[in-house]
Amino acid sequence: MDFAPYQDTDPQSTRALSPPPQRSTSRSPNPKSPLPNRGTTDPFLASSLPAPSHFSHEPREESISFGNTDLEGGRSNINLFDTSLPLRLDHEAMIAYLLLPPAGGVFLLLVEHKSDYVRFHAWQSSLVFTAMFIIHLIFSWSSVLSWILFVFDLGLIAFLTFHAYQDANNLDRIELPFFGGLASSFVDAE
């Protein structure tokens, strides 16, 4: 159908017409009259339509098991489908701190889009260890201060990695001063 303002043919002549309304011989039921008894069977039970879960596009937990057979106990209740990567939530949060900080955090910020818990740890890792890298550059003239900062970095990585793993059961966040609040505000704004 052409809706141009200047047409050489009438658009009404080429339009598909609606079918005529159906006229039934029965009248509409009187609202005050009792309804006819059609039996006590539920019409939805007798239908041959599939269950609503048939149309769901979400994967079923019983068909995919990336970590359901965990021997650590108590951690099998983590929903594996809250993350974009095929890894457990606690493992992804640990990667934010273990994979060459701040590179692990930046990597997770690029690939993880579903889990706010993982994104929080990725933001916090990126912010904290970028600041630590700048501090390392500033104090690189002193080997003693560089070694002290390096040991502090290793301790901070171990502490944050442990809490990212441990707190994944109840999605608690360990927030460092200033950087944790900033990471939370970034995640909340997304």
Report whether the peptide linkage leading into residue 102 is cis, meaning its omega lies within 30 degrees of zero: yes
Long-range contacts of 170-177 (CB under 8 A, 24+ apart): 171/117, 173/117, 173/120, 173/121, 175/124, 176/124, 176/128
| Calpha distance 170→123 (Å, rounded) | 19
Contact criterion met (CB below 8 Å) for 85 and 112: yes
Q: How many other CB atoms are there within 10 angstroms of residue 40's CB atom? A: 5
What is the length of the chain?
190
pTM exceeds 0.95, yes or no: no
- Residue 171's pLDDT band, with cuts at 50, 70 and 90, is confident
Q: Which of 10-19, 86-95, 121-130, 166-175 is predicted with the least confidence, judged by mean pLDDT?
A: 10-19
CA 155 from chain center: how many Å? 31
Distance between CA atoms of residues 126 and 128, nearest Å? 6
pLDDT tier, 73 (very low <50, low <70, confident <90, very high otherwise) = low
pLDDT of residue 64: 45
User: Which tens digits make up the pLDDT trace of 115-148?
Assistant: 899 999 999 999 999 999 999 999 999 999 999 9
